[in-house]
Amino acid sequence: MDNLLIDNIRRRNRTNTRLKYIIIAGAVITVVPIFLIVGNLALKGYRQINLAFFTEPAPDTFQAMMAASSGEVIPGGIANGLTGSLLMVIIASLVSIPLGLMTGVYLYENGTKRYASFIRSLTEILQGVPSIILGIIAYLWVVRNITRGYSALAGSTALTIMMLPLIIRSTEETMKMIPVTIREAAFALGTPYYKMIIKVLIPVSFSGLATGVLLALSRILGETAPLMLTALGSPSVSLDVTRPVSAVPLLIWDFYNDPNMVNLVWSASLFLMVFVLSMNLLSRSIASKHKYI
Amino acid sequence: MSGDKVTKALLFLSSLTILLLSAGIVLSLTGGAIPAFREYGFSFITSTVWNPTSGSEEYGALPFIAGTVITSLLALLLCIPMAFSTSLFIAEYFRGTRTAGILRSLVDMLAGIPSIVYGFWGFYALRPLLISTGLTDQGFGIFTASLVLAIMIVPYATSLSTEIIAMVPSELKEAAYSLGATRREVIFRVIIPSARSGIVASFILALGRALGETMAVTMLIGNANIIPKGLFSPGNTMASVIANQFGEADGLKLSALIAIGLLLFAITALVNAAGKFIIRRFA
Per-residue 3-state assignment (H helix, E strand, C coil) for A4-68 = HHHHHHHHHHHHHHHHHHHHHHHHHHHHHHHHHHHHHHHHHHHHHCCHHHHHCCCCCHHHHHHHH
For residue B283, the model assigns a pLDDT of 60
Regarding pTM above 0.90, the answer is yes
Residues of A in contact with B83 (CB under 8 A): 30
Is A16 in Cβ contact with B185 (below 8 Å)? yes
Mean pLDDT on A242-270 = 91
Measured from the Cβ of residue B181, the count of other Cβ atoms closer than 10 Å reads 18
Minimum distance, in Å, between the CA of residue B172 and any CA atom of chain A? 19
Q: What is the pLDDT of residues B100-157, one digit of tens each?
A: 999 999 999 999 899 999 999 999 999 999 999 888 888 889 999 999 999 999 999 9
Is B212 in Cβ contact with A133 (below 8 Å)? yes
* Mean pLDDT of chain B, nearest integer: 93
Is B184 in Cβ contact with A16 (below 8 Å)? yes
CATH number of B58-282: 1.10.3720.10
Is A109 in Cβ contact with B11 (below 8 Å)? yes
Options 3.20.20.140, 3.50.50.60, 1.10.3720.10, 1.10.540.10; which CATH number does A81-289 get? Answer: 1.10.3720.10
Q: What is the pLDDT of residues B60-89, one digit of tens each?
A: 999 999 999 999 999 999 999 999 999 999
Is B212 in Cβ contact with A132 (below 8 Å)? yes
Minimum distance, in Å, between the CA of residue B196 and any CA atom of chain A? 18
Residues of B in contact with A131 (CB under 8 A): 212, 214
| Residue of A37, A136, A218 with shortest CB distance to B242 | A136
**Measured distance CA(A211)–CA(A285) in Å, rounded:** 9
Mean pLDDT on B41-54 = 90
In sequence order, what are the residues at sequence separation of 6 or more whose Cβ sits closer than 8 angstroms to the Cβ of residue B82? A26, A29, A30, B150, B151, B154
Q: What is the pLDDT of residues A234-250, one digit of tens each?
A: 988 989 999 999 999 99
Q: What is the pLDDT of residues B1-22, one digit of tens each?
A: 578 889 999 999 999 999 999 9
Distances (CA, A) of B259 to B217, B246, B253, B254, B265: 20, 12, 10, 9, 10
DSSP type of residue A73: P
Is B183 in Cβ contact with A22 (below 8 Å)? no
In sequence order, what are the residues at sequence separation of 6 or more whose Cβ sits closer than 8 angstroms to the Cβ of residue A80? A57, A58, A234, A235, A236, A237, A238, A245, A246, A251
Is B107 in Cβ contact with A31 (below 8 Å)? yes
Parse chain A into domains and list their residue ranges: 1-38, 81-289
Q: What is the pLDDT of residues B182-194, one digit of tens each?
A: 999 999 999 999 9
Residues of A in contact with B6 (CB under 8 A): 194
For residue A292, the model assigns a pLDDT of 45
Is A281 in Cβ contact with B3 (below 8 Å)? no
Is B243 in Cβ contact with A225 (below 8 Å)? yes
Q: What is the pLDDT of residues A82-141, one digit of tens each?
A: 999 999 999 999 999 999 999 999 999 998 899 999 999 999 999 999 999 999 999 999
ipTM: 0.94
For residue A293, the model assigns a pLDDT of 43
Q: How confident is the model at residue A59 (pLDDT cuts 50, 70, 90)?
A: confident
Interface residue A271 vs chain B (CB under 8 A): no
Rounded percentage of chain B residues whose pLDDT exceeds 90: 84
Handedness of CA A44, A49, A54, A59 (dihedral sign): negative
Residues of A in contact with B105 (CB under 8 A): 281, 284
Residues of A in contact with B14 (CB under 8 A): 99, 102-103, 106
* Mean pLDDT of chain A, nearest integer: 91
Q: Give the number of A-B residue pairs with CB atoms closer than 8 Å.
A: 245
Is A30 in Cβ contact with B32 (below 8 Å)? no
Q: What is the pLDDT of residues B134-150, one digit of tens each?
A: 888 888 899 999 999 99
Q: What is the pLDDT of residues A178-199, one digit of tens each?
A: 888 988 899 899 889 898 999 8
Most A CBs within 10 Å, among B19, B104, B113, to test the A interface = B113
Mean pLDDT on B246-269 = 94
Mean pLDDT on A168-176 = 93
Is A194 in Cβ contact with B15 (below 8 Å)? no
What one-character-per-residue DSSP string does A126-159 give? HHHS-HHHHHHHHIIIIIHHTSSS--HHHHHHHH
Minimum distance, in Å, between the CA of residue B228 and any CA atom of chain A? 22
**Measured distance CA(A126)–CA(B268) in Å, rounded:** 10
In sequence order, what are the residues at sequence separation of 6 or more whose Cβ sits closer than 8 angstroms to the Cβ of residue B223? B234, B236, B240, B241, B244
Is A130 in Cβ contact with B265 (below 8 Å)? yes
Minimum distance, in Å, between the CA of residue A70 and any CA atom of chain B? 22
